[in-house]
């Protein structure tokens, strides 16, 4: 079974300190053509610009690197799951450069750690990581990676080590 990355967005891919950028009104069209994905054209222009210009490129690359190395899948835990459809989130990951990994959302509810646990039990998940800027170390131990502003190289190495520890589960 593929390992699951329970992924938050704000403070992980979308840094708390957002770079300044000028709104590109043609970005939807450009990216829709680039990815041959007509769904991107329909997305909110502010949403697309925030992903393309606001997400930390290196963080997205490092998450994709984990996905590739471990054939990991992503379950979104972020509050973004409450505001966007599955199709919009799939497009978001495509724009961010994270391909073929997003599979699901956790259910609505609080606290987040309980919702993640419910998902783990309901789907009989053995190998997983929780990547979030909110501290859940007491809930998930070494399977929790806490970010500070965004997912960085040190977080990547910690995540890689934690996934290696779970290879024989």
Encode pLDDT of 140-155 as tens digits: 999 999 999 999 999 9
Percent of residues, the chain, with pLDDT higher than 70: 100
Average pLDDT for the chain: 95
Is the predicted pLDDT of residue 16 greater than 90, yes or no?
Answer: no
- What's the pLDDT score for residue 19? 76
The sign one gets for the Cα dihedral 145, 146, 149, 155 is negative
Q: H-helix or E-strand containing 87?
A: helix 86-96
Is the predicted pLDDT of residue 65 greater than 80, yes or no?
Answer: yes
Task: Identify the band that residue 123 occupies on the pLDDT scale cut at 50, 70 and 90.
Answer: very high
- What's the pLDDT score for residue 20? 85
- What's the pLDDT score for residue 17? 79
10 Å CB burial of residue 121 (0-12, 13-18, 19+) is: exposed
Cα–Cα distance for residue pair 101/43, rounded to 1 Å? 20
Domains belonging to the chain, first-starting first, are 4-18+56-165 (3.40.50)
- What's the pLDDT score for residue 169? 72
Degrees, nearest 5: CA angle 84-90-92: 70
């Amino acid at each position: 079974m593929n390992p699951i990355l329970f992924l938050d967005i704000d403070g992980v891919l979308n840094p708390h300190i957002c770079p300044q950028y000028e709104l590109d009104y043609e970005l939807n069209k450009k990216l829709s053509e680039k990815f041959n994905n007509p769904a991107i054209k329909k997305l909110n222009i502010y949403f697309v610009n925030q992903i393309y210009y606001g997400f930390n490129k290196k963080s997205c690359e490092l998450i994709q690197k984990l996905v590739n190395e471990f054939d990991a899948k992503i379950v979104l835990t972020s509050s973004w799951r409450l505001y966007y459809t599955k199709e919009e989130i799939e497009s978001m990951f495509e724009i961010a450069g994270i391909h073929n990994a997003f599979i699901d959302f956790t259910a609505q509810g609080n606290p987040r750690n309980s919702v993640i646990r419910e998902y783990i039990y309901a789907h009989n998940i053995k190998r997983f990581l929780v990547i979030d800027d909110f501290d859940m170390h007491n809930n998930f131990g070494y399977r929790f990676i806490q970010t500070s502003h965004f997912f960085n190289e040190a977080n990547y190495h910690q995540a890689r080590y934690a996934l290696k520890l779970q290879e024989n589960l």
